[in-house]
Amino acid sequence: MRWDTVLFDMDGTLTDSQEGIVKSVSYALERLGRELPPRDTLTAFIGPPLHESFSAICGMDEAETERAVCEFRDYFARCGWAENAPYEGMAEFLAALHAAGLRLIVATSKPESFARKILEHFALERYFDLICGSHPEDRASADKASVVRTALTGAGVTGRAVMVGDREHDVLGAKKNGLPCIGAVYGYGTAEELTAAGAAALADTVDELHKLLLG
């Protein structure tokens, strides 16, 4: 096989998290008295770190961004985490990779506690050697390059590794750690976004990703 370790982004790669994230963002904006932008704008929150998104997309200053993130996490902790579902065929796909002897790791900007809770809820945690996410008390830990670096170190990865993710942040974070990245076009990034960021290959479906990783 070409690789022996696969790092996975979570939102838009392992699970379709649109409903929970969009509702969490909407809740935060309503709590702050902000007008809701179009749904296409709200889906842009899927993937990047929240502080970055509230600032860049909504033009919030530091204090307002911090409030928005707290409100987002309040809704997400109560409801949003469960408004989520694995992509069709994901459990079978992960089982096949695991059976083939690949080491599987989650590397997500989502808080690690939420990532673990969601994967356990859908009985997917069994396939992963490590679940690595951010820590709310340390904003820098949500940077994708930092998450990938922490995951590689925590799992003691020394062999051939590849990242799989659906946004440019995944591609760029992998690249900063010397890893190629396969773009999951079935998620929330476009083929153009992923290609421009330098994705090594693109997968339009979970089946295509299966073929790229296992042949």
Active site residues: 9
Q: Is the dihedral of CA 8, 13, 18, 20 positive or negative?
A: negative
- Do 186 and 205 touch, CB atoms closer than 8 A? yes
CA distance 177 to 67: 32
Residue 85's DSSP bridge partners are 16
- Residue 211 CB: number of other CB atoms within 10 A? 10
